[in-house]
A = this chain, B = another copy of it.
Amino acid sequence: MSFTIDDELWSAVGDPIRRRMLDLLLTDGGGTSTTLSARLPVTRQAVAKHLAVLDRVGLVHVTPSGRERLYAVDEAQLARAIAQLSSVGATWDARLRRIKRIAEAIQRNQES
């Protein structure tokens, strides 16, 4: 039980386009809806919507500069998202291992 995970955060990084956006923002150190859309297979408007989602969950923050709106990754929040990802992965991993252990125990029992 007890999903320590923040569903909003997860679903924010659940979208493949948003993951690529985070990737671009990380490697380029920032970007606008226009610059991002130039490197993605979707329109500027779609990118803007995604940026709004990422902004809502705090994964990016924006700094207006003239007529541009420059977005950059919030590193602390991304770190939290990463932690939650690996947390769920670890949980499942542990369960899989437990199942395997039990299965092996049963097999040992049957052999004896």
Q: List A residues at the B interface (Cβ < 8 Å).
A: 3, 5, 7, 10-11, 14-16, 19-20, 22-23, 26-27, 29, 75, 78-79, 82, 85-86, 88-89, 91-93, 95-96, 99-100
**Residue of B whose beta carbon sits closest to that of A100:** B75
Q: Separation in Å of the A26 CB from the closest CB of chain B?
A: 5
Quick one: which of B16, B26, B29, B93 contacts A92, CB cutoff 8 A? B26
Chain A binding surface, main DSSP class: helix
Closest to A92 in B: B82
Chain B residues near A29 (CB, 8 Å)? Answer: 99
Select which of B16, B23, B75, B92 is within 8 A of A99 by beta carbon: B75
